[in-house]
Amino acid sequence: MTYKDKQFRLSGLNGISDETLEMHLKLYQGYVKETNRLTEKISEFLKDGNVDQEEMPAYSELKRRLGFEYNGMVLHEYYFDNLKKHGGGDPDRDASFRRATDSSFGSYNIWKADFMSVGNMRGVGWAICYQDPASGQLSNHWVTLHETGNVAGFNPILVMDVWEHAFLLDYKPTERPKYIEAFFSNIDWSVLDVRLGNLMHRKDKRSRAA
């Protein structure tokens, strides 16, 4: 299985420069390349049908790094995909995402305060709003680096990169809140509804099959 980098036609965002986007997309392509390279190297260990004792240290290191690279690739795809030029504002009151924040947090504003606070946590990583497929409820989580803190089985609905590379060309390291404001002014809310809709569809299919 070889992954191909996805194409994102992103430019002219509010508060996130084209220079940042260009650099960030190159970083993303690096994750795709490294995911493919590690996957290929791991498959070489398995050619003879087993990983022997001598191979285990090198094999283990590659497997651990794969979690970092794989999540780095996938999270960046969610991130770029939930941004658009002239996005932002707040989601419509009858939008699925807005209604999901009301039912999960009591109000959209409480959800937003929680999500932004996760984004402002110290450290390098991501703020992610997930939907629990079992209950349909939304919850916001901090992910360190790319792989520590992802909730197994939960589905990412809104993904915000808060590594410094996401904003250092536009803001000082101490100005992460300004970047987060800029991120919010570029969200493609319709993508979030599509993500929620796809999950509902899958759930419907499952329940029909049961």
Q: Smaller CB distance to Fe ion: residue 59 or 163? A: 163
Q: Smaller CB distance to Fe ion: residue 8 or 163? A: 163
What residues contact residue 153 under an 8 Å CB cut-off, 6+ apart? Answer: 132, 133, 134
End-to-end CA distance of the chain: 31
Q: Smaller CB distance to Fe ion: residue 26 or 205? A: 26
- What's the burial of 59, exposed, middle or buried (CB within 10 Å: 0-12/13-18/19+)? middle
Q: Smaller CB distance to Fe ion: residue 167 or 189? A: 167
Stretch that binds Fe ion, among 6-14, 86-94, 97-105, 159-167 (CB under 5 A): 159-167
Q: Does 77 bind Fe ion (CB under 5 A)?
A: no
What residues contact residue 24 under an 8 Å CB cut-off, 6+ apart? Answer: 76, 80, 161, 165, 166
Which position has the token pair 């969610």?
A: 78
Q: Does 69 bind Fe ion (CB under 5 A)?
A: no
CB of 109 to Fe ion, least distance (A): 27
Is 190 in contact with 91 (CB distance < 8 Å)? no
Stretch that binds Fe ion, among 106-114, 163-171, 185-193, 198-206 (CB under 5 A): 163-171
Q: Smaller CB distance to Fe ion: residue 147 or 161? A: 161
Residue nearest to Fe ion (CB): 161
Q: Does 161 bind Fe ion (CB under 5 A)?
A: yes
Q: Which helix (H) or strand (E) holds 182?
A: helix 176-184
Q: Which amino acid is at 30?
A: G
CB of 152 to Fe ion, least distance (A): 22
Which residues lie near Fe ion (CB under 5 A)? 161, 163
